[in-house]
Structure 1
């Protein structure tokens, strides 16, 4: 059996206010091409179909089109809910979709009930574990502890109990949405929502011992924890912390004895990500930065003083600059002003002090005049600041 493992689509998400739905639709086209080209039998999506519990209409439409296209392809589809999804909304109509070869698993009640498929070597049991919020399953499952490890350990106990009753030689696939870590450190991305309970979120890999393949979701980077336990990562980058990621899916082959082969299939990159740093004149003139002119850019300016119209000037060379930050080379880092009593102090003086502390130099005469105009326009009494020089 040939399996395509993907996760964390986050349909409806934006990237620093840049709409991503068109790029997500292009990824779906790529997914269907891989299904046909590689003769995929099963697609597994390990959670976070949507970016939020109430997804926008266009995101729901794209999910519906995607499920329909895969149902009409040569592949079956198993989908589980992630921590960003609404399990009830994503799971609507799941029983009806089963008949079309689209299996949506969003309920904790179904963790021990596999989707049973067959190939030339016999049966394959696919256990779709939705995201299991420990506080929601602790009481009904009588868990001894309040943690993701306790919740997944109980889910896997149920999986193994069912697997023990399947025909001899049945191969197993488990889908889970969690922060799983092995002996090597795994770096999360800035775009992942924290799921820790009591400061703890990590689940050890030995929870999944004995399973032929474990398709994980939640982390947005592609990771191989063991040969049989892998994260596909998100198909698109959703934060600049993912600048060095390879995006795509795992193409997994099962033979008669279990996992035979896994190969990473890279997804199309809509636009490269770049982090650039330097003073503004250097960034605007240095030819070595030319390779980033069509990238999504996070620029860090090291000028001692914040340049005027910095974003506007950068976007003339780097039109897709999305984030601008400041780290002055002279060591004066922008910080929140120190808390001091301001009772009786004119608004204009407070604003001028704020600007000096944030920027590291006093306001110019022109800037001071602009701040005075702003304070006067916001004041119910336009005579309040007349005595301030």
Structure 2
């Protein structure tokens, strides 16, 4: 090959739901696009920097979707290098890794394989691709033989020391790529990443990764460049409304004889957009200006002074993909955080229930509700004399 071209992806999270909605079809569509991109751009290697699955024991359907995506990528002409993330089960993901490598799927899920690169050759010589799986600090510091290492920074420092040591033993000028799943200082997170904080410290200094030509990062779900050679691809789909304005993408990375030559961003298709609406329920249900978000996954904040009854069902009559609902009345009144022992002391049950309803929805019970409450309290043996 004339030169090596990589496709940097991460955080597929196959099997994840979005506010209870199954995303398998959307995930299959976006991952299928990766295979089309491999063919169109003559990609040699697809990198997946952790969190292939959303849970340690993925469903059979999630495994099938991931397997089909990888098979299509291989059929399109690219090899794959995968590492495990904090959502994955490293032992499950890495099973049969030696056999998979023969078919072009290279799995890096164990500490003892950190300094065993996948080696490729182009007209300029070899390229070494190192995969660092997600390293949970406490077990990793013992597995790496550095019991005094502290936090993510400590264990990743040792992992990269092993990478650089292996590179130094190889021929001069060898080019290198590292996959890592970590929160690097300077990165911007979203609401959809699971925290990896240990003792309050989850971030890793960017200088930990010095000395390699390109670092393909995973864990943060927004695409971002911390340096030309140090980037997050982000997740292929939005997994929280905090990502609603992000354009999901992947990085196309070219190496030439001198190392990193070019990095290009490729935006991914969006199977279903995310949107937010704020306002009173009657206006949201009637205004023509909201027609353009009828097919979006929708987060709605209602500002009615009284919490509307059956709000989600009513909203879904017009917006079938409404998945998240909040109530923030425009008069500023919300359900306050109460010290319940103080709030209920010496008060009759009927008064406590009335106050609870008033706090939660912004209006006291009406006459019909009063009768129902009184009957419920009597049935519970708490009726007033």
TM-score, structure 2 length as denominator? 0.94
Could you list the per-position Cα deviations for residues 223-267 of structure 1 after superposition, in whole angstroms to 9, with x for gaps in the alignment?
110000100000001111111111121111111111111111111
Unaligned runs of at least 5 residues, structure 2: none
Cα pair distance change 1:28/1:376, threshold 3 Å = farther
For residues 68-87 of structure 1, give each alpha carbon's deviation from its aligned partner in whole angstroms, at most 9, with x where no partner exists. 33333311110000000000
| Structure-1 residue corresponding to 2:101 | 98
SS at match of 2:86: coil
Q: Secondary structure at the match of 1:54?
A: coil
1:348 CA displacement: 5.0
Task: Report SS of the residue matched to 1:55.
Answer: coil
Measure how far apart 1:373 and its partner are: 4.8
The answer as to 2:51 corresponding to 1:54 is: no
Q: CA deviation at 1:216?
A: 0.4
From the superposition, tell whether residues 354 and 270 of structure 1 become closer, same or farther in structure 2 (CA, over 3 Å): same
Q: Deviations over 1:63-115 (max 9, x none)?
A: 22223333333111100000000000001100111111110110011111111
Q: Where does 1:348-363 land on structure 2 (aligned, <5 Å)?
A: 348-363=350-365
Give distance in 1, aligned partners of 2:301 and 2:188. 22
Rounded Cα–Cα distance in structure 2 between residues aligned with 1:373 and 1:302: 32
Aligned equivalents of 2:260 and 2:378: distance in 1? Answer: 72
User: Counterpart in 2 of 1:157?
Assistant: 161
SS at match of 1:154: helix
Equivalent in the alignment of 1:135: 138
Q: Which moved more, 1:345-354 or 1:213-222?
A: 345-354
Return the alpha-carbon distance in structure 1 between the equivalents of residues 161 and 382 of structure 2.
Answer: 71
Residue of structure 2 in register with 1:65 after alignment: 68
Matched position secondary structure for 1:211: coil
For residues 132-182 of structure 1, the C-alpha deviation after alignment (integer angstroms, 9 at most, x for no partner) is: 111011223214332111111110000000001111221100000000124
Q: In the alignment, is the contact (CA less than 8 A) between 1:106 and 1:129 conserved in 2?
A: yes
1:246–1:376: structure 2 CA closer, same or farther, 3 Å change rule?
A: farther
Runs of 5+ consecutive residues of structure 1 not aligned to the other structure? none
| Partner SS, residue 340 of structure 1 | helix
Contact preservation (8 Å) 1:47, 1:83: yes
Q: Is residue 188 of structure 2 the alignment partner of residue 191 of structure 1?
A: no
Q: Could you say which residue in structure 2 is the equivalent of 1:321? A: 322
Between 128-137 and 315-324, the greater mean CA deviation after superposition: 315-324
1:374 to 1:37, Cα distance in 2 relative to 1, 3 A: farther
> 1:265-310 CA deviation, whole Å, 9 max, x = no partner?
1111111111111122222233332221211110101111111222
Aligned to 1:261: 262
Picking from 354, 370, 373, the partner of 1:371 is 373
Check conservation: 2:374, 2:383, Cα contact below 8 A: no
Aligned-pair CA distance for 1:345: 6.5
Quick one: distance in 2 between partners of 1:327 and 1:171?
55
Q: How many pairs are equivalent?
A: 380
- Say if 2:32 and 2:72, in contact at 8 Å, map to a contact too: no
Which residue of 2 is the match for residue 225 of structure 1?
Answer: 226
**CA displacement at 1:206 relative to structure 2:** 0.9
SS at 2:47 equivalent: strand
Distance 1:204 1:187 in 2: 14
How many angstroms does 1:361 deviate by?
2.6
Normalised TM-score (structure 1): 0.93
3-state SS of the aligned residue for 2:142?
coil
Partner Cα separation in structure 2 for residue 344 and residue 8 of structure 1: 54
Q: By how many angstroms is 1:365 displaced? A: 1.4
C-alpha separation between the residues in 2 aligned to 1:192 and 1:323?
18
Question: How far did residue 349 of structure 1 move?
Answer: 4.5
